[in-house]
């Protein structure tokens, strides 16, 4: 069926649409009613069902006779190893680990933090939690101990599953000291930890609290799948908001099974036996949805790639993986393609690999710049589809659905809304604007199955962040417009969230770190354009009166403070000491102007600026580090 027909079918009867999609999931008790609006504007889907996520991702494929099919390929250029795990092996591994968790007292609804690099055991840990109805929260390895501690306090895990180390091309990152430090800092203490010892680093264990991955699974009975209610949280995934406190996005079990399964055929055009690869990290939403759950639910082979787009060993790495493992649909972030393009502008490495099975490349995570899309299309000869989504939704809000017959690509647009999303563009006052006019992108409630029903421990924050500004709508936090053909264009964030190498980061959180430096009186962090990473954070610091220490020393301290408090992933490497920040007369920091100045974009001096002379001071300061711009 064509996109238009499918979209109209959804519009005509959304509940029926999702009940039909639900037929592709194996239920313990199938849903009778799709939508539950009892607590509107907070909606739930499939509340009356009983289901198990792990059963749908693993066991049902073994039951269907596909136990010998490869479920997971671990391709790890950083360790020089490759490994394949069949569905039968995965079932055995997951049931045993789930058994170990149960034996140690982890029950339905308990939280388990997973702090692991790109190894198959990370997926096994997620699936083991799903098997017994424990709620996992995977934390990205590039975060510092302090960030891990914040998440431990928020979701109060009974257990933490970690690895001894992650491997970056230039160094081995020992995870265990970070974990120990985080537990030390956190008020909440987990009852126990399970540690996967990797050959590259042997983690010291704390007797009585830490158990080895192998040791803890000895002599335990494998656990069966536990049926959970449709609205039971499958996981909590923390993402950046405007403040230092991350938001715990809750993912409801039944909705995510139904929606993810639907996307595999409709958007990515893959099914049972196909190889699907999302080159992301398990710590991000792409990793949750498209490295772990969706490909496995759909009976595909998924790839866990432990390496980088370049340097492991070269710019051909992605093409090699696609070719070698016969990838049919491939998903990555524009920044990864930019890195490859930078190292191999002529695309010579692409030609070394046939990639016969590859039907398309999908991009998401940040705005896909036309240059990069065109470069990838030209050199791979494959269509490149941008699609737009967020941690909150768990899958694409807008895409070009290959499985429904691809629509014409308009470069610069992630194409059209997917069924489930009634997208509208509103002005500040909440009024719909016409086509081609920029405004806030919102989704008319209810959101489709699988999207967040709330934030963990923070229902009020959920309401305030997403529902309060435009009653009746979900506020995406993105600004953009819809053209005459119904294609959406994502232009900018409407909040203080920036996107660095496809990673969503909060400038508010970075400002909190800078403000904690004893010499800093006031500060601002903005995201400025970066040719590789899309955006890059730049700090502006005003010092306390009487501070005479060299600015370079203070900046270096701020850079290392950021690494210590947020982690290397923040990529905070540049800051400027200035006398004062540009503000409105009411004291609001003019961050947008600061970005325009740094990016050499024309800007209009706001009428409300407190003292226009400050813009000249800023320009001078920016010029001192090779940045600056001009007024309109």
- Contact residues toward ligand AMP (CB under 6 A) are 239, 285, 364-368, 386-391, 414, 476-478, 490, 493, 499, 504
Distance in angstroms (rounded) separating the CA atoms of residues 203 and 598:
44
Q: Which is nearer to ligand COA, 67 or 77 (CB)?
A: 77
Subset of residues 350 to 369 that bind ligand COA, contact rule: CB under 6 A: 365
For 144, 581, 592, the CA distances from 588, given in Å and listed in that order, are 30, 10, 11
Closest separation between CB of residue 520 and ligand AMP, Å? 28
DSSP class of 521? E
Category of 473 on φ-ψ map: left (φ > 0), alpha (ψ -120 to 50) or beta: beta
Q: Which is nearer to ligand COA, 141 or 252 (CB)?
A: 141
Cα atoms in the 13 Å half-sphere on the side-chain side of 181: 13
Q: Are 165 and 172 in contact (CB under 8 A)?
A: yes
Closest separation between CB of residue 6 and ligand COA, Å? 26
- Helices 591-598 and 613-624, axial angle in degrees (round to 10): 40
Q: Is the dihedral of CA 57, 59, 64, 68 positive or negative?
A: positive
Closest separation between CB of residue 378 and ligand COA, Å? 20
**Per residue in 94-112, is it b (16+ CB within 10 Å) or e — as a string?**
bbbbbbbbbeeebeeebbb
Find tokens 């010029």 and name the residue. Answer: 623
If binding is defined by CB under 6 A, does position 568 make contact with ligand COA? yes
DSSP assignment of 253-290: HHHHHHHHHHHHHHTT---TT-EEEE-S-TTSHHHIII
If binding is defined by CB under 6 A, does position 173 make contact with ligand COA? yes
Q: CA gyration radius for the chain?
A: 24
Closest separation between CB of residue 321 and ligand AMP, Å? 22
Closest separation between CB of residue 463 and ligand AMP, Å? 19
For 19, 99, 402, 580, the CA distances from 625, given in Å and listed in that order, are 57, 57, 45, 17
Distance in angstroms (rounded) separating the CA atoms of residues 361 and 544:
50
542 interface partner picked from ligand COA, ligand AMP, none, CB below 5 to 8 A per type: none
Q: Are 49 and 56 in contact (CB under 8 A)?
A: no
> What mask of x and - would describe binding to ligand COA in positions 319 to 338, judged by CB under 6 A?
--------------x-xx--
Q: From 204-212, 237-245, 304-312, 544-552, give the range in contact with ligand COA by CB under 6 A.
A: 304-312
If binding is defined by CB under 6 A, does position 569 make contact with ligand COA? yes
DSSP assignment of 76-122: ETTTTEEEEEEHHHHHHHHHHHHHHHHHTT--TT-EEEEE--SSHHH
Q: Which is nearer to ligand COA, 445 or 505 (CB)?
A: 505
Q: Which is nearer to ligand COA, 55 or 277 (CB)?
A: 277
Closest separation between CB of residue 286 and ligand COA, Å? 4
Q: Which is nearer to ligand COA, 166 or 230 (CB)?
A: 166
Q: From 14-22, 104-112, 199-207, 302-310, give the range in contact with ligand COA by CB under 6 A.
A: 302-310
CA 87 to chain centre: 26
> What mask of x and - would describe binding to ligand COA in positions 509 to 548, judged by CB under 6 A?
-----------------------x----------------
How many helices (H) and strands (E) are present in the chain, helices listed first?
19, 32
Kindly give, in sequence order, each residue whose CB lies less than 8 Å from that of residue 218, ignoring residues fewer than 6 positions away: none
Query: Among 55, 268, 284, 466, which residue sits at the site for ligand COA (rule: CB under 6 A)?
Result: 284
If binding is defined by CB under 6 A, does position 307 make contact with ligand COA? no
Which tokens is 606 given?
A: 């706001």
How does strand 135-138 pair with strand 111-115?
parallel
Find tokens 């709508």 and name the residue. Answer: 473
Q: Are 446 and 245 in contact (CB under 8 A)?
A: no
Segment holding 528, helix H or strand E: strand 520-530
Query: Among 98, 286, 291, 397, which residue sits at the site for ligand COA (rule: CB under 6 A)?
Result: 286
568 interface partner picked from ligand AMP, ligand COA, none, CB below 5 to 8 A per type: ligand COA
Distance in angstroms (rounded) separating the CA atoms of residues 590 and 600:
16
Closest separation between CB of residue 115 and ligand COA, Å? 10
Q: Which is nearer to ligand COA, 309 or 582 (CB)?
A: 309
Q: Which is nearer to ligand AMP, 162 or 505 (CB)?
A: 505
Distance in angstroms (rounded) separating the CA atoms of residues 296 and 442:
31
Closest separation between CB of residue 154 and ligand COA, Å? 21
If binding is defined by CB under 6 A, does position 76 make contact with ligand COA? no
Closest separation between CB of residue 572 and ligand AMP, Å? 17
> What mask of x and - would describe binding to ligand COA in positions 132 to 171, judged by CB under 6 A?
---------xx-----------------------x-x---
Query: Among 60, 308, 387, 596, which residue sits at the site for ligand COA (rule: CB under 6 A)?
Result: 308
Closest separation between CB of residue 392 and ligand AMP, Å? 7
Residues that bind ligand COA (CB under 6 A): 117, 141-142, 166, 168, 173, 279-280, 284, 286, 308-310, 333, 335-336, 339, 365, 501-502, 532, 568-569, 571
């Amino acid at each position: 069926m064509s996109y238009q027909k499918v979209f109209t079918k959804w519009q005509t009867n959304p509940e029926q649409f999702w009940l039909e999609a639900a037929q592709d999931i194996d239920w313990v008790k199938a849903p009778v009613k799709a939508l539950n609006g009892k607590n509107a504007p907070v909606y739930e889907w499939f509340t009356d069902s009983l289901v198990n996520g792990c059963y749908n991702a693993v066991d049902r494929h073994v039951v269907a006779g596909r136990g010998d099919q490869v479920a997971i390929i671990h391709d790890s250029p950083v360790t020089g190893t490759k490994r394949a795990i069949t569905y039968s092996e995965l079932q055995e591994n997951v049931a045993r680990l789930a058994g170990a968790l149960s034996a140690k007292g982890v029950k339905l609804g308990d939280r388990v933090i997973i702090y692991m690099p790109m190894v198959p055991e990370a997926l096994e840990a997620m699936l083991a939690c799903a098997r017994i109805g424990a709620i996992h929260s995977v934390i990205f390895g590039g975060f510092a101990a302090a960030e891990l501690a914040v998440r431990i306090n928020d979701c109060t895990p009974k257990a933490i599953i970690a690895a001894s180390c992650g491997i970056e091309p230039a160094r081995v990152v020992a995870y265990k000291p970070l974990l120990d430090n985080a537990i030390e800092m956190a008020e909440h203490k987990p009852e126990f930890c399970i540690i996967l010892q990797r050959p590259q680093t042997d983690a010291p264990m704390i007797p009585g609290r830490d158990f080895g991955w192998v040791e803890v699974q000895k002599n335990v009975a494998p656990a069966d799948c536990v049926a959970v209610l449709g609205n039971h949280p499958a996981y909590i995934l923390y993402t950046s908001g405007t403040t230092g406190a991350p938001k715990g996005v809750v993912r409801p079990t039944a909705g995510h099974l139904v929606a993810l399964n639907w996307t595999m055929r409709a958007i990515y055009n893959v099914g049972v036996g196909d190889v699907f690869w999302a080159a992301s990290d398990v710590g991000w939403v792409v990793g949750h949805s498209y490295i772990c759950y969706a490909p496995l639910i759909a009976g595909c082979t998924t790839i866990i790639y432990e390496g980088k787009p370049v340097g492991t060993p070269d710019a051909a790495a992605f093409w090699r993986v696609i070719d070698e493992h016969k990838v049919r649909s491939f998903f990555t972030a524009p920044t990864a393609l930019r890195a490859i393009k930078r190292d191999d502008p002529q695309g010579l490495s692409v030609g070394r690999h046939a990639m016969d099975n590859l039907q398309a490349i999908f991009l998401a995570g940040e705005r896909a710049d036309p240059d990069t899309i065109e470069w990838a299309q030209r050199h791979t000869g494959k269509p490149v589809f941008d699609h737009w989504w967020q941690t909150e939704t768990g899958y694409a809000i807008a895409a070009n659905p290959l499985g429904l017959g691809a629509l014409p690509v308009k470069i610069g647009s992630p194409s059209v809304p997917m069924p489930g999303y009634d997208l509208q563009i509103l002005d500040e006052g909440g009024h719909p604007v016409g086509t081609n006019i920029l405004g806030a992108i919102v989704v008319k409630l209810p959101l489709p199955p699988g999207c967040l029903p709330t934030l963990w421990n923070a229902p009020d924050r959920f309401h305030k962040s997403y529902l309060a500004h435009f009653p009746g709508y979900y506020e995406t936090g993105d600004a953009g417009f819809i053209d005459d053909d119904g294609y959406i264009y994502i232009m900018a964030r409407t909040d203080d969230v920036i996107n660095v190498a496809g990673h969503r980061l909060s400038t508010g959180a970075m400002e909190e770190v800078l403000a904690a430096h004893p010499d800093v009186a006031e500060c601002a962090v903005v995201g400025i354009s970066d040719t590789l990473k899309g955006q890059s954070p730049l700090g502006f610091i005003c010092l306390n009166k009487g501070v005479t220490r060299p600015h370079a020393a203070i900046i270096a301290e701020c850079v290392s403070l950021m690494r210590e408090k947020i982690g290397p992933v923040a990529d905070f490497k540049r800051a400027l000491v200035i006398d004062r920040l540009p503000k409105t007369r009411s004291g609001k920091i003019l961050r947008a102007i600061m970005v325009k100045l740094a990016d050499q974009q024309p800007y209009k001096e706001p009428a409300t600026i407190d003292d226009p002379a400050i813009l000249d001071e800023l320009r001078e300061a920016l010029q001192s580090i090779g940045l600056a711009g001009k007024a309109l």
